[in-house]
Each structure stands twice: as C-alpha cells, then as structure tokens.
Amino acid sequence: MLGRHALQRLLPDSPGISRAHGTLVRQGRRTYMPCYHPAATLYNGSLLGVLRQDFQRLRAHLDQAAATPPPAPLATADPAPPNEQLGLF
C-alpha cells in the first residue's frame, strides 16, 4: 500500500505512515505492507533510502510468501443446480 492516504482509507485504525511503513499488517485474510509513496521522495529526498529499504522488505515478504504452501481451500456446500431456462411462449 503506497502512501498515507491509502493507509488511512484501508486501515483507518492504524498508526501514521511514519510508524507503520515497512511493517506487515494483517486484516482478515489480507496482509498489507504500508510504504511511503514514491512521490514523497520528490518533496523529501531523505526518504529515498527509507523507501528502498521498504521495497527490499516487501521483496523479502513476497519471497517468503511464495515459498510457503497456500492454505487449504475452504469447504463449500454443493453448488445449487442451474435454473431451468424458461421459454417465451
């Protein structure tokens, strides 16, 4: 998730971007990793190193997730039979 606005929209109860960036946040079945938006480095050049570190962490998390087998699918009930097509006449 890139930037403060996305963080506030998707995770309104989370701390600000300066505290949350680079950490994994799990909500339900989804996992988020807030990062500074790349445009932030245009206004504050000192964030470039931080942004690079965050993307390296993201790569490590993605590599770890790819190495982990996916969870078993949830059991579902038998699907309903298809509805019969009705004629016009």
- 68 found inside a domain: no
- 88 found inside a domain: no
* pLDDT of res. 83: 77
Q: pTM for this structure?
A: 0.67
- 69 found inside a domain: no
How many independent structural domains does the chain possess?
Answer: 1
- 11 found inside a domain: yes
Look up the domain containing 24 and give its range: 4-59
pLDDT band at 78 (very low <50, low <70, confident <90, very high): low
- 78 found inside a domain: no
- 26 found inside a domain: yes
pLDDT in tens, 33-74: 999 999 998 999 999 999 999 999 999 988 988 888 777 777
Alpha helices, H only, the chain: 4-10, 17-20, 40-43, 47-67
- 32 found inside a domain: yes
Whose structure tokens read 């960036």? 21
